[in-house]
Chains A and B, each alone.
Chain A
């Protein structure tokens, strides 16, 4: 078990390094840097001035060296200009050239400064991440039980009416990406002119103009059912369909297995067959699916946070990308990739754990 775990972690670190390097290259392309120079310096800079700005702010030199500095395995750049002012990667704020450490990359905890939010990237990212964590938590709490129940119910009697109704629902939700379901949910539940809100308001059942709030901005401070239900549902819906279909497929396959027949023919009652014999075998596959859903959930988070104006991690990513905030985008990307890799690792290890056939051989 241990060698397996070590190998997996090793591969994961290798993957993380490769990916962060790729992201670093893609965010530090020459055009991005030029754009950065013009926004940080002046828009009317000459091309030469842009080049020297890039050079003077430590964005020159080879990509690998810059990556090393960012990572914190190569010494940060130090440059003394004509006026004798020494500036450098690690020299900022109260830190002087003399007291500056040699290395200051993410390994040392220095993630740089955001040009949009004008604050340390690490502060922005951790704040936003915690907001998004709440969103994810609620999504998971809704999505996982609902999808598993739907999947198991429809998979245990393939072709029954329950199965057909639930499967149709599952297919419909997988056909509805977040930006579609979000729009439709808002129109139905959070529009003052259409959907059910005007009717409810007319009957006097709701005090406000709409049933749910169309934005989730206020949820940053205080999560309520009315400002959080729509974003959570929007993300969860797509996932529910997908996981439910996987669970159903896994469940129907298990139900055709011979050991289920064995159980039935030794007189086990149907509900016991499901609970004792089928469920454990049927839930191994969905577990990995749920874990591997994270990259897509992240997608949903970005879309929903944009759509509902919830200032979390996804929203920050969009701001960073849209405003050429290199350090922030880089940090967001690394965090996103890291989350994905960790969930993949959990999925792999969990699969082995859940499956006695693999665990013990």
Chain B
């Protein structure tokens, strides 16, 4: 290990193929994958779920489980081939030379061991350090990952820390032995955006400080742009394009990469004039890959007899910095041609008022402490919510976990009744009417699309049966035959083949399930639809298609869409008005343009800054919030955002600590709940600027 030349690559993967072996067949997960990571370099692996990016990471760790096996190729770490290393040598390398950071911090930490012991274990194993020394080192590294009060944290159990703190501990654990290579597998996916921003900053700084090389795995192109120097785009088990981040982003040379960028909502996209372009078709199953180019069947530039005739090798793009693409036609394609714009549509004017909330409050009382007993606590899930929604309008409700957006949906749907305030739904007061007491007509007009595609359909009922049940309960259709006919029409509407009526949900992909969920919601001719993060669990290329479908149906039925999301990019793309929530409060409300441009509420400002954007032209002001979102059980006094606000010092006195800010109504009905004066707000600078071409 000592005679390794730092100018050689740290990690060199060559023609790696990995398969999983099941009872029925061999499933190739990664094919002919090569990549090189130099010292101090950050390499990004990007792709949709199932593309094999995590498998590559686990193969480097040689932890593929019982069924996985490296079929061919080599993984060289500092010149030594990991694929043929024995267990004892591997154990020496794991943790000390190569360390890994995982997606779910809570699950990655041992719940029954104190944090200090888990950290100290690493140098105790690899450097034979004494426990006392190891704990001292752990204390220092905890300070390095910017956690407050290291002594308390050393003694704590993992569940006593918040998600962001846990992830910092996992990072600290990886750094304990000062590894040469750090593998990060979607390290921020389970975290809120504002917390994610802090972690990403930390990772970048530590990478520089310790000179560690990184293999950064993510599905989020924006994050890759933030963190990495080079990247490798994967599709269906293969690397399709690799190169310098800037070059791949600006001068991509593979149709998949291009399609991927066209399907994500970047600044400038607009649902009416510049709609997203979804990638047609579906991701191929691992055992049903097409011959030749895997992306062939979904590719606009596909040429029969060429693309499907042979295995496609990686081809170098001359003149670029180690840029390569797995496309036979890359030199023929005009990469600068503008995308064919899909159908451009007119923006529909907002119609009559359909939903009006006034000073809605929802409190829960919960008994504190795990053992029952103890004092009753009141959780203020929603605090004085007021807004209106019109026909044809998309109102986005934005916020991170614990902001009360799900409670709001429950109250509106009638699954819970409001503590106080009024909900006016089509000239009817429904705040005190639970769903059982609502008229069938009211129920069928107000429906919901759920977040998790794997959960939204009953796994033991056919797709058709589930839609028919909705028709039955909404009293649509005069007899069974009529309902079957209506069900098939609904499947047409969401662009699913009619044959799907007989399928079970497990035979459908995530996007298809989400379509069925939409069909079910519209079975009764819904007029107001609450969409609770309907696309956040889907892959980016599918997101665009489902979003567009939702927009189409809305346009046709003149539906009011309440779009709940934490993803500001998609909100900016499709909503007409935006409501930002934090800890049960509406902190900002206005049209999309008003919210995305200054003046901001300080929270909106931070949120905008935190969202990674996959566009090299975008310049962002970096605003990283301190700490985590406070628990809704224990909100801070005064302004809910005061614990993390960077503007707090500019408000005179301790107003923020003590007094709940009033709602300021600015020009154009733009509402902001903040103590900052109108002048201070007006002086705010934009967070995001797009550099001129």
Contacts and interface: CB of A to CB of B under 8 A. Distances in A.
Direct contact of A and B (CB under 8 A): yes
A281 B111 contact: yes
B233 to A, nearest CB: 26
A360 B91 contact: no
B374 A3 contact: yes
Given A266-B94, A267-B96, A268-B125, A4 B63 contact: no
Contacts of B91: 267-269
Interface string B113-126: 10000000110011
Interface in A226-261: 257-259, 261
Contacts of A268: 91, 95, 121, 125
A355 B158 CA distance: 12
B396 interface: no
Interface stretch (B98-106, B243-251, B655-663): B98-106
A44 interface: no
B63 A261 contact: yes
A4 B95 contact: no
Contact of B63 (A265, A269, A276): A265
B370 A259 contact: no
A7 to B, nearest CB: 6
B121 A358 contact: no
B62 to A, nearest CB: 9
A358 B370 contact: yes
B340 interface: no
Nearest to B94: A267
Given A258-B107, A281-B111, A356-B157, A267 B373 contact: no
Contact of A7 (B126, B170, B371): B371
Nearest to A355: B112
B373 A258 contact: no
Range of interface residues on B (Cβ < 8 Å):
35 or more
Contacts of A258: 102, 104, 107-108
B439 interface: no
B425 to A, nearest CB: 39
B394 to A, nearest CB: 38
A123 interface: no
Given A265-B100, A268-B121, A356-B157, A4 B110 contact: no
Interface residues of A, number: 28
Interface string B451-472: 0000000000000000000000
B109 A159 contact: no
B372 interface: yes
Contacts of B110: 259, 262-263, 277, 281
Contact of B159 (A257, A261, A361): A361
Contacts of B157: 356-357, 360
B61 interface: yes
A269 B90 CA distance: 10
A164 interface: no
B66 interface: yes
Interface in A345-359: 352, 355-358
B109 A262 contact: yes
Given A259-B111, A356-B111, A360-B157, A265 B61 contact: yes
A1 interface: yes
Interface in B368-386: 369-374
A360 B370 CA distance: 9
A340 to B, nearest CB: 22
B92 interface: yes
B93 to A, nearest CB: 8
B173 interface: yes
Contacts of B372: 3-4, 7
B507 interface: no
B180 to A, nearest CB: 14
Q: Which of B92, B112, B157 has the most CB of A within 10 A?
A: B112
A160 to B, nearest CB: 10
A267 B100 CA distance: 11
Interface in B167-218: 170, 173
Given A264-B63, A352-B371, 17 more contacts: A3-B373, A4-B373, A258-B102, A259-B108, A259-B111, A261-B108, A265-B94, A265-B99, A266-B94, A266-B99, A266-B173, A267-B96, A268-B121, A276-B113, A280-B113, A357-B159, A358-B370
21 contacts: A3-B371, A3-B372, A7-B372, A159-B66, A258-B102, A258-B108, A259-B107, A262-B100, A262-B109, A262-B173, A265-B94, A266-B122, A267-B96, A267-B126, A276-B121, A281-B112, A356-B112, A356-B157, A357-B157, A360-B159, A361-B160
Give 6 closest A-B pairs by Cβ, nearest first.
Answer: A4-B371, A266-B95, A267-B95, A3-B373, A258-B107, A267-B94
